Amino acid sequence: MKVGHMNIIRYIGIDPGSSCGWAVLDEDGKRVASGTWDLKPKRHQGAGMRYVRCARMLRELLEAYPLAMLGYEEVARHAGTTAAHVYGGIVAVVQGMCEELGVPYAGVPVGTIKKHATGSGRASKSEMEGAALKRWDRHCRDDNEADALWVAATLREGDI
């Protein structure tokens, strides 16, 4: 895929949250790297540290994998106000960092990701993890990592 003058050779998926899933796929859809960042503030840290930590880790990821396009899980509703605020803050960091570094990005709706992964837009966390295991032959640390893999795959395959 070409975006502007840039040839995309990697796809980065982000599942925004306090346990933030991330994944990198190559242009053939093979898993390059993935995991989960713990963005929860540590004892004696302010709540804003989650965004400082997110920005540092995201910058390292984007610099380690150039010529990438980034997708993040686009959530329309949250269970509570705090979750919505945390999600919004992390998405703001992601969008701002991508703008700063010139990385193309897109939000990918949750239902679209689930449908791409399992055929059902209402797939459970365990179904998403099972589909990731089947596709990449690798157990994920948690559902956040699995979701990030599927965000990247959905972005790569143009199903957004």
Question: Burial, 130: exposed, middle or buried (Cβ in 10 Å; 0-12, 13-18, 19+)?
Answer: middle
Low-confidence stretches of the chain (pLDDT beneath 70): 1-6
- At 101, give phi and psi (nearest 5°): -95, 0
Q: What is the pLDDT of residue 79?
A: 83
Q: What is the pLDDT of residue 2?
A: 45
Q: Within 10 A of 19 (CB to CB), how many other CB atoms are there?
A: 15
Question: Burial, 57: exposed, middle or buried (Cβ in 10 Å; 0-12, 13-18, 19+)?
Answer: middle
Q: What domains are there in the chain, each with its CATH number?
A: 10-156 (3.30.420.10)
